[in-house]
Structure 1
Amino acid sequence: MDALIVRPLESVRRSQQIGTNKFPYAILIDGLDECVGEPNTTSGINPVNADDRSLPEDQQEELLAAIKHCILDNDLPFRVFIASRPEWAIHTALEPGGLLREAAYHIQLSHKYDTSGDMRRYLRRRFEDISLRIGDSKWFSEADIETLVGAASGQFIYVATAYKYISKRRASPAERLKIVVTWTPHEGQATRPFEALDRLYTNILLAAKNAYEAVDSHHGRDFLLLFKAYHMGITGFASFTGTIVRDPTANLLSAMLCLEARAKETLISDLRSLVALQTDGDGDLRLHLYHKSFSGFFGRT
């Protein structure tokens, strides 16, 4: 970053041949959470966990540190826009005392925003395009759209994945739509309309698992098994006496698992785009899943 941006701009400034106001001001970085490249050993900027630089969050943290050191601290005429899921590196950088806490303006997307209207318009427009292609305007109904929007539970990638599956040119869109709206997973099923969504969930879970189990104090712990236990806070489970324990709190589950204080927060620190710990009316912490499809996927893993 120093070689590509800072030094060339400083050279232009010194030459006074071109005013810096002629340059574009915005630098856009999309998908910071997907940054998994090799760290730059020549930058002189070391992430916190320098002894374990292979973890993706170390590269993400290194990039954030480079942005602050090279661009923000050098008073360059740029505005940097970063879009990311709130995974560990970005979440930590924006916390009190974090690397970018004082330098960044955090625009947090509200989970209260209702995307249903956007998803309806998206599906209706795409389905109408298919109607023109196949010469049949009655191959779908508004009820089908409502079914898909309801199943998405606010997750736009769900309807986008459904459309991608339905719109395959070598198949009947009506038949594929029927598969999607009536689809329930079962073992040995050949049709997998949400395979892309499953891959996304798999990658997020594997990254979280690797990061969690790489910590020395977590040696011997099974991340997926622990998360499945907290997931029982949503589904309920049978106790030793045979009775069903419904809706147990996160604190109760931590006590049953003999985990240390704040273990649950650490466990989900790399899953913030999928789950959250929320306080209920009684002041108890409970695991909350943003998307129904993730609960269904995790129940099959």
Structure 2
Amino acid sequence: MKKSSRKKGKAVAGSNISTTYDTSRRDSSSRHYGDNRQYNNHYYGAPMPSPNRHPQNRLEGYVSKGAAHNSLERGIDAPKCHPKTREMVQENILSHIARGKEKVLWLSGPAGAGKSAIMGSIADQCYTERQLAGSFFISKSALSVDRHSKRYIIPTLAFHLLELIPGLRELILASIKRNPSVFDKKLQHQVEILILRPIRELCKTADASEWPRAMLVDGVDECTADEGREYETEYERQESKEANHREVLSALVKLASNPTFSFRIVIASRPENAIEEYFSSLRKGAVARIFLDEMYGPEDDIALYGEAMLTKIGRECGFLRPWYSQVGEALGIEDVPRHLAQQSLGQFIYIATAIRYVQTKSKAPHKLLEQVLNWRSNSNCNAFASLDALYTGILESSPDSALSVKWLRSIPLFRQGDPWLIKFILESSPGQTQYLLGPLVSLVCIVDRRGNPIFHFYHKSLSDFLEDPKRCGTFHITDDDLEGFLAHRHIEILKNKGLQGQVPRKGALDGVLEGVCINLLNHIGHLHKKEYDASHVDWWFSHLRRGLAQHYVKVAYENVHKNCDFLSCGPACELWTECLMRYARQNHWMLPSRERFSGFAVARKPKPKSGKRK
């Protein structure tokens, strides 16, 4: 068996940070930006709760408050079904929650079919009727890791039950106190400790028939691979992701299968292979299924939604007649809403994006609708052809579409998810965010209602489009080019000794610059011209928090040699090495010997990039 090249370093004095040095070359597909700290072998934007804290505080440390159906993070614009649409499928789901034999219902359908909107409407209905026991809306496009990591799902559902069911709070907290390591266990064990065991105890004295009946988990396919791991190939990352899908589903099915658990669990996801295979492996009758196909008449619902929204736009603009008919007649289209419904190929995300684009007011509504109707695909074999044509047309409306796409590809990589930090790093001049992404607000929300940056993708299908070279064509960016772009942005900030775009308010500037300087650790090993001197490296060092500076200097010393050959360093590497060794001497710190990592990756045989099984 091949020995791992990962070596454990000493913890920084006075901190709970355990440093891990990885001397292997790293696949850029495993990179995320925004954090170089490692807590309990998992990378997150903040430390994990201490086992010595009060049980409720520990539980809340693993609760994703933004994943609840009515959370402020999801906002009032969270996907919901338009009135009079998707009525049949909603009725079937609500009927199953009330009277269904199977305790698990799987709602599935292709990308953009409206699963999250249906789940949002079901959650609202159940909440209104006091039948919602808990909900978790998983979202890969959300910048917070707690929205798409499996570690937060069971604790969040337990927290929702704790808030709703009288007498359960004390039992759950007591169970956490008896099992302080519960949050480091597999999900099946978390289910037993956090939910089933307390419910069994409560059922001895309580009447469960009065409890809410519905528990909703949306977007299981968006649950991501394990954090804190290095993946040699994209295949390894995909394997981890699929394993997490199976673990989440297995935990939820175990929960529902227990006789003391009286709730109905509704799970929504795309029909990914791993998810389909898992449900198929269960005994017959264990899970009820609803697939969003033609039986549920999506075209009629999409046409109804399109007509209602186009009429609303006309009313807001003071148009006296169905204005969209004029646009259609000029293009030879008799029924515009029906035409858009046919173009959508059953994907609600198509009509939703088209309507948002017409609502942008960047031009007169007539002109914007005319553009949408002209963005047609000639392909009949691609299920996403119309959506791809729409995305392409909207992206081309940016004054610098190539740079805009680099921004859109970069944003999900900032794992800490601080929108201000993302804005300050990506901007090379004040106002660039609005300049580049302002025309793309039908694809990504860039400010919240208070005027703060947010960078929220309306749908995961945008990322799917941008990551698939066959779909996005000339907009495709390789992982190496993307890493080069991010490295360039950080190096430019270093050369400038400060931000190039909008400068934050005085009280927040130091924290932002510290975040930028920590992020820079990911990029100093990227090949670049040495267009700066020791004073710039000193500027970097001056913005590190004193108690963590030793740790970051060690990480910088390792990373800066990443692309050196066995015998020599480049000019930038030599400069950084000289400065880092000076800091170490001045503070009596030990640095690892250069031989530990320099040239190591060159000397060994590189691993194949293919993700195929052997």
Q: TM-score interval w.r.t. the shorter chain?
A: 0.5 to 0.7
Partner of 1:173: 365
Partner of 1:91: 276
1:263-299 deviation per Cα after TM superposition (whole angstroms, max 9, x unaligned): xxxxxxxxxxxxxxxxxxxxxxxxxxxxxxxxxxxxx
Alignment of 1:176-255 (within 5 A): 176-184=368-376, 190-191=396-397, 199-202=462-465, 214-217=611-614
Partners of 2:310 and 2:394 in 1: CA distance: 30
Partners of 2:353 and 2:322 in 1: CA distance: 22
Alignment of 1:33-48 (within 5 A): 33-36=221-224, 38=226
SS in 1 for 2:351: helix
SS in 2 for 1:131: helix
SS in 1 for 2:363: coil
Partners of 1:52 and 1:188 in 2: CA distance: 31
**Identity of aligned pairs, percent?**
27
Would the alpha carbon gap of residues 189 and 108 (structure 1) be closer, same or farther in structure 2, given more than 3 Å must change? closer
Would the alpha carbon gap of residues 187 and 150 (structure 1) be closer, same or farther in structure 2, given more than 3 Å must change? closer
Would the alpha carbon gap of residues 178 and 152 (structure 1) be closer, same or farther in structure 2, given more than 3 Å must change? same
The answer to whether the Cα contact below 8 Å between 1:27 and 1:78 also exists between their aligned partners in 2 is yes
Q: Does 1:146 align with 2:338?
A: yes
Partners of 1:91 and 1:113 in 2: CA distance: 21
Q: Does 1:120 align with 2:383?
A: no
Partners of 1:53 and 1:138 in 2: CA distance: 48
Partner of 1:105: 288
Report the alpha carbon displacement of residue 61 of structure 1 after superposing the two structures with TM: 0.7
Would the alpha carbon gap of residues 111 and 160 (structure 1) be closer, same or farther in structure 2, given more than 3 Å must change? same
1:28-72 deviation per Cα after TM superposition (whole angstroms, max 9, x unaligned): 112221122648xxxxxxxxxxx9786322211101111123331
Would the alpha carbon gap of residues 79 and 189 (structure 1) be closer, same or farther in structure 2, given more than 3 Å must change? closer
Match of 2:351 among 152, 159, 162: 159
Q: Does 1:79 align with 2:269?
A: no
Match of 1:32 among 205, 220, 226: 220
The answer to whether the Cα contact below 8 Å between 2:215 and 2:264 also exists between their aligned partners in 1 is yes
The answer to whether the Cα contact below 8 Å between 1:93 and 1:101 also exists between their aligned partners in 2 is no
Report the alpha carbon displacement of residue 22 of structure 1 after superposing the two structures with TM: 2.1
Partner of 1:8: 198
| Structure 2: runs of 5 or more not aligned | 1-153, 155-190, 228-235, 326-333, 377-388, 399-439, 444-457, 470-609
The answer to whether the Cα contact below 8 Å between 1:26 and 1:78 also exists between their aligned partners in 2 is yes
Residue type of the alignment partner of 2:324: F
Would the alpha carbon gap of residues 87 and 79 (structure 1) be closer, same or farther in structure 2, given more than 3 Å must change? same
Residue type of the alignment partner of 2:396: A
Partners of 1:87 and 1:204 in 2: CA distance: 17
Would the alpha carbon gap of residues 172 and 5 (structure 1) be closer, same or farther in structure 2, given more than 3 Å must change? farther
Partner of 1:46: none
Residue type of the alignment partner of 2:323: W
Partners of 2:284 and 2:201 in 1: CA distance: 30
Match of 1:60 among 232, 242, 245: 245
The answer to whether the Cα contact below 8 Å between 1:30 and 1:82 also exists between their aligned partners in 2 is yes
Would the alpha carbon gap of residues 64 and 131 (structure 1) be closer, same or farther in structure 2, given more than 3 Å must change? same
Partners of 2:262 and 2:612 in 1: CA distance: 39
Would the alpha carbon gap of residues 188 and 117 (structure 1) be closer, same or farther in structure 2, given more than 3 Å must change? closer
Partners of 2:194 and 2:215 in 1: CA distance: 13
Partners of 2:466 and 2:200 in 1: CA distance: 40
Shifted more, 167-176 versus 30-39: the winner is: 30-39
Report the alpha carbon displacement of residue 100 of structure 1 after superposing the two structures with TM: 6.0
Partners of 1:99 and 1:53 in 2: CA distance: 23
RMSD of aligned alpha carbons: 3.3
Partners of 1:131 and 1:187 in 2: CA distance: 23
Q: Does 1:133 align with 2:133?
A: no
Shifted more, 155-164 versus 183-192: the winner is: 183-192
Equivalent residue pairs, number = 196
Partners of 1:37 and 1:23 in 2: CA distance: 34
The answer to whether the Cα contact below 8 Å between 1:31 and 1:83 also exists between their aligned partners in 2 is yes
Partner of 2:207: 19
The answer to whether the Cα contact below 8 Å between 1:6 and 1:71 also exists between their aligned partners in 2 is no
SS in 2 for 1:65: helix
SS in 2 for 1:140: helix
Would the alpha carbon gap of residues 4 and 54 (structure 1) be closer, same or farther in structure 2, given more than 3 Å must change? farther
Partners of 2:215 and 2:316 in 1: CA distance: 39
The answer to whether the Cα contact below 8 Å between 2:225 and 2:237 also exists between their aligned partners in 1 is no
Partner of 1:260: none
Match of 1:69 among 254, 259, 268: 254
TM-score, scaled relative to structure 1: 0.55
The answer to whether the Cα contact below 8 Å between 2:311 and 2:322 also exists between their aligned partners in 1 is no
SS in 1 for 2:291: coil
Alignment of 1:250-261 (within 5 A): none
Residue type of the alignment partner of 1:8: P
Partners of 1:154 and 1:110 in 2: CA distance: 8
SS in 2 for 1:81: strand
SS in 2 for 1:107: strand
Would the alpha carbon gap of residues 187 and 120 (structure 1) be closer, same or farther in structure 2, given more than 3 Å must change? closer
SS in 1 for 2:290: coil
The answer to whether the Cα contact below 8 Å between 2:199 and 2:260 also exists between their aligned partners in 1 is no
